[in-house]
Structure 1
Amino acid sequence: MKKLIILVTIAFTGWKIYQQYAPAPVVEWSNSETQNSIQYQTPEAITREATNAMRFTCDGREYCSEMTSRAEAEYFNRYCPNTKMDGDNDGIPCENDSRF
């Protein structure tokens, strides 16, 4: 019985030391929705996007009330810093603006 208690004590101590010095497991988080949503664009969409990029420039405007079209708002939201047009961060600017 004495040998069993000593053996259990040594095993418990060894386990505690192992837990203290063992490397932490690596946990990788992934958003499967993002990984599975590959968007393909037609040549027309790419041409339209390039045309919009040539028409608009980042000039410091930040709000929907300063935009003249949805295309302009989308350009500013995508390419210009510090815009405040996408309140819920879903990538669609000026969702509640009735002008567009």
Structure 2
Amino acid sequence: MRFLIVLLLIAAAWGGYRHFHAPVPEATPTAAAAPARADPAPVMRTPAQRFSCDGRQHCSQMRSCEEATFFIRNCPNTKMDGDGDGVPCESQWCG
């Protein structure tokens, strides 16, 4: 009986950890990379190109105000704008 309780506690802790600490996917290099230039021009990317909806919903999973703003504007089921004013993560990133 004690073993079952310990096992359930471990499973609950693991589930909570995975929920709030979802891994952030890293970009993978493509197989056909362009040859390197001597003076590469800086590339300005828009937030839509830098971020993608990957299931994250909470401020603790964001890395910047820009990223949180992208998520609340473009991704479903976010939980980052508690007062509904359109500004996410006000106490952590955008305040």
Q: TM-score, normalised by structure 2?
A: 0.50
Is 1:64–2:59 an aligned residue pair? Answer: yes
Partner of 1:51: 46
Counterpart AA for 1:68: R
Point out which structure has higher relative CO (alpha carbons under 8 A, 6+ apart): 2
In our comparison, the structure showing a higher alpha carbon Rg is: 1
Indicate the RMSD between aligned Cα atoms, in angstroms: 2.2
Q: CA deviation at 1:98?
A: 5.7
The Cα of 1:99 is off from its aligned counterpart by: 8.4
Structure-2 residue corresponding to 1:89: 84
More helix by share: 1
Distance 1:81 1:99 in 2: 20
Letter aligned with residue 61 of structure 1: R
Aligned residue pairs total 52
> How high is the sequence identity, in percent, across the aligned residues?
58
| 3-state SS of paired residue (2:49) | helix
Q: Residue deviations 1:20-79, cap 9 Å, x none?
A: xxxxxxxxxxxxxxxxxxxxxxxxxxxx8x701100000000000000111000000100
- Match for 2:72: what amino acid? N
* Consecutive unaligned residues in structure 2, runs of 5 or more: 1-43
Any stretches of 5+ residues in structure 1 without a counterpart?
Answer: 1-47
Runs of 4+ in 1 over 2 A off after TM superposition: none
Output aligned runs, 1:21-60, within 5 Å: 51-60=46-55
> What is the CA distance between 1:95 and its match in structure 2?
0.3
- Matching residue's letter, 2:48: A
The one-letter code matched in structure 1 to 2:49 is: M
